[in-house]
A and B are shown apart, each in its own frame.
Chain A
Amino acid sequence: SQQGEEDPQALSIQEGENATMNCSYKTSINNLQWYRQNSGRGLVHLILIRSNEREKHSGRLRVTLDTSKKSSSLLITASRAADTASYFCATDARSGYSTLTFGKGTMLLVSP
């Protein structure tokens, strides 16, 4: 079963603008992770936020987590054309079988 759902499905912006992607999930989690995938390639881990954390930064990335709303957001500031990729959230559920469950992703296009 897929727990994370990203929103929007696709996002098109200009270089220099900020990009915000959201992820909603259904059950209690241990952590939530964001991954990036360039077309047809393997996913690359971006950032992990634990259930007891509310915000985390890594370079131009800012992730927030609201466990009461079961949602997370990924903000990419000052986007570059090289940020063009699909972004996935993945949740490590607190209960149930041991698996990291991925959403369907947000496709981000950053135009020069």
Chain B
Amino acid sequence: EAQVTQNPRYLITVTGKKLTVTCSQNMNHEYMSWYRQDPGLGLRQIYYSMNVEVTDKGDVPEGYKVSRKEKRNFPLILESPSPNQTSLYFCASSLYRGKTQYFGPGTRLLVL
């Protein structure tokens, strides 16, 4: 089944404790992206990747890192999480930029 998977689905952590949210797609898509969704603010893009080893900042990249070592994986790293990073995070992929995006189920993060 074609899908985007994210893990974990739910995460509670404390300020400053490094964490990684994994994202994997099995559709051989070149484009992958991370979004955060907050009430009243809609979806905002954090980082995106046009292809392996090619990543770039979105609208709200501060406090986040990403890597794209393999085509299928695009992990989101929070080196020192803070409470303002409490949010619902979505990974998405598409064949190329601007095409239909397929979303993962989301990761709900709470930073205490």
B50 to chain A, nearest CB (A): 6
CB pair A33 B105 closer than 8 Å: no
**Selected interface stretch from A13-21, A43-51, A62-70, A71-79:** A43-51
Find out whether the CB atom of A100 lies under 8 angstroms from the CB atom of B101: yes
Contact call A99/B58, Cβ cutoff below 8 A: yes
Query: B residues touching A (Cβ–Cβ < 8 Å)?
Result: 4, 33, 35, 40-45, 48, 50, 56, 58-59, 88, 90, 92, 94, 97-106, 108
C-alpha spacing A32/B44, complex, angstroms: 17
- The binding surface of chain B is classed by DSSP as strand
Please name all residues of chain B whose beta carbon is closer than 8 Å to the beta carbon of A104 when the two chains form the complex.
40-42
Chain A residues in the interface with B (C-beta under 8 A): 1-2, 30-31, 33, 35, 40-45, 48, 88, 90, 92, 97-105
16 A-B residue pairs with CB within 8 Å? A1-B59, A2-B59, A41-B105, A42-B92, A42-B103, A42-B106, A43-B90, A45-B102, A98-B56, A99-B59, A100-B45, A100-B94, A101-B45, A102-B42, A104-B41, A104-B42
